[in-house]
Amino acid sequence: MTRVVLLGSSPGPDTVPTGLRLAALPGNPAVAERLHSQLRTMDPRPATIASGDVAAALRALAEVAESATESLFIIPENSVVHDELIYQITKTKRGALVLVAKEPRLTNGEDSGEESGEGQEETVTETVPIDEAEPEIGMNRVEGLPVRSRIGKSRVVSIGTATHKVTRPNAVLLGPMHISARNAPVLAETCRELAEMADTFGADDDLVQLIAFGLVRKGVSVGIRGRRDLFYRRVTTQEEVNEAGSEITGMDEDRARLDNAVKGADGFFTTYFVSTYSRFIARWAARRGLTPNQVTLISIALGVAAAACFATGDRVGMVAGGILIYFAFVFDCVDGQVARYARKFGVLGAWLDATFDRFKEYVVFAGLAIGWVVAGHGDDTIWIFALAAIGLQSVRHLLDFSFGISNRRKPPAQLPMLPLDAPDDRDLRKALERRKVERSQGVRGLLKMWTKAGKYRAVHWARKMIVFPIGERFAAIAITAALFDARITFLTLVIWGTVAAAYTLTGRLMRSLA
The CA distance from 349 to 18, in Å, is: 44
**pTM of the full structure:** 0.87
Task: Work out the pLDDT band at 264, boundaries 50, 70, 90.
Answer: confident
**Which residues neighbour 383 within 8 Å (Cβ) at sequence distance 6 or greater?**
369
Q: Where are the alpha helices (DSSP H) in 375-485?
A: 382-409, 426-438, 442-453, 457-466, 470-483
pLDDT tens sequence across 443-488: 888 888 888 888 899 999 999 999 999 999 999 999 999 999 999 9
Q: What is the dihedral angle through the alpha carbons of 390, 392, 395, 397, rounded to the nearest 10 degrees?
A: -70
β-pair type (171-179, 223-225): unpaired
| Residues 286 and 210 grouped into a single domain | no
User: Domain range holding 502?
Assistant: 261-513
Residue with the bigger pLDDT between 363 and 20: it is 363
Closest by CA position to 372, among listed 302, 318, 301: 318
CATH of the domain at 202: 3.90.550.10
Closest by CA position to 319, among listed 489, 471, 484, 493: 484
Last residue of a domain, one of 255, 284, 302: 255
Last residue of a domain, one of 233, 255, 277: 255
Q: Identify whether the C-beta of residue 251 lies closer than 8 Å to the C-beta of residue 457.
A: no
Burial letters for 209-237: b for 16+ Cβ neighbours within 10 Å, e otherwise? bbbbbbbbbbbbbbbbbbbeebbbbbbbe
pLDDT tens sequence across 64-108: 999 999 999 999 999 999 999 999 999 998 999 999 999 987 555
**3-state secondary structure (DSSP) of residue 232:** strand
CATH of the domain at 372: 1.20.120.1760
| Residues 107 and 81 grouped into a single domain | yes
The CA distance from 258 to 287, in Å, is: 12
**Which residues neighbour 408 within 8 Å (Cβ) at sequence distance 6 or greater?**
none
- The torsion region of residue 402 among left (phi > 0), alpha (psi -120 to 50) and beta comes to alpha
| Residues 295 and 168 grouped into a single domain | no
| Residues 229 and 270 grouped into a single domain | no
Burial letters for 397-420: b for 16+ Cβ neighbours within 10 Å, e otherwise? eeeeeebeeeeeeeeeeebbebeb
| Residues 357 and 486 grouped into a single domain | yes
| Residues 210 and 306 grouped into a single domain | no
| Residues 251 and 265 grouped into a single domain | no
Q: How many CB atoms lie within 10 A of CB 86?
A: 24
E strand or H helix at 110: strand 110-111
| Residues 183 and 270 grouped into a single domain | no
| Residues 230 and 299 grouped into a single domain | no
| Residues 305 and 405 grouped into a single domain | yes
**Which residues neighbour 169 within 8 Å (Cβ) at sequence distance 6 or greater?**
103, 136, 138, 140, 147, 148, 149, 150, 160
pLDDT tens sequence across 330-340: 999 999 999 99
Does the pLDDT of residue 13 top 50, yes or no? no
Residues listed for the chain: 514
Last residue of a domain, one of 255, 290, 313: 255
Q: How many domains does the chain have?
A: 2
| Residues 344 and 396 grouped into a single domain | yes
